Structure formats: structure tokens, C-alpha cells
Amino acid sequence: MRRIMIIEDNADNRLLLNAILGDSFAITEHANGPDGLAALATELPEILLLDISLPGMDGVEVLRHIRANPDFRHLPVIAFTAHAMSDDRSKYLGHGFDDYITKPIVDETILLGSISRLLDRVPA
């Protein structure tokens, strides 16, 4: 089963993601950036859904740490955020995210399509 890590501080959003993804993926979840970063080496996800507005260390900073680590530099990371202004998509892609999904999730096929496209680039 393919492995996805979720770093999201909102328990309701984690519950929704588990409902959407739980039958198809092995999911690990963390409520903050430092815990997620610490778990990367042992959980070995194939893709990461990363909230932008996290307490303490925001998602952009978490991504900087991931991209600076040679072991995880190529991990596909999706920005999962309520930031949905017209220039936010290009802003977050410019930070190095591989894709950008807004919440709340209205159409789960957008999320599933993004995950599928990114996982196609990762050997199973």
C-alpha cells in the first residue's frame, strides 16, 4: 500500500483526509511541523500533504527543511491550504511545493488526481 504523510493541525481536516484516502493509502499524520519532520526518516512516506498555516513552524518552513535534506529533497509535497487568493497557487509552487490543493475539499477528485500524478513519478 502506498504511504502518505499528513501534517495538518486541524483534527477535522485530518479526519476528512483519512476518510477520503484511508482505504487506498497507508496514512500517518502529525499535528505540527517539527513532529512531522522528526518522523520522516522512520515513516518513509511517498508523498506529503502539508498544511501551510501550522502553529510554530509554518508549512513553507517545513518544506525548506525537507528540500535541504538530501534524503527527502525529492519527496513530493502538496501544499494543503485555505490560502486561496488568485496568486497563492503560483506563490506556493514557487516555494517548491509540487502541487497546491485548497481546503475545504469540495471535489475529492482534484486531491486524488494530484496524488495520483505525483505518485506516478515515485517508484512503488
User: Domain 2-42+56-119 classified CATH 3.40.720.10?
Assistant: no
Cβ 31 vs Cβ 10: under 8 Å: no
Q: Half-sphere exposure (CA, 13 Å, Cβ side) for 5?
A: 24
The pLDDT value recorded for residue 68 is 97
The pLDDT value recorded for residue 14 is 96
Tens of pLDDT along the chain (124 residues)? 999 999 999 999 999 999 999 999 999 999 999 999 999 989 999 999 999 999 989 999 999 999 999 999 999 999 998 877 778 888 999 999 999 999 989 899 999 999 999 999 877 6
User: Coil, strand or helix: which one is 11?
Assistant: helix
Going by C-alpha positions, the residue among 28, 38, 35, 23 that lies closest to residue 3 is 28
Domain ranges, ordered by start, for the chain: 2-42+56-119
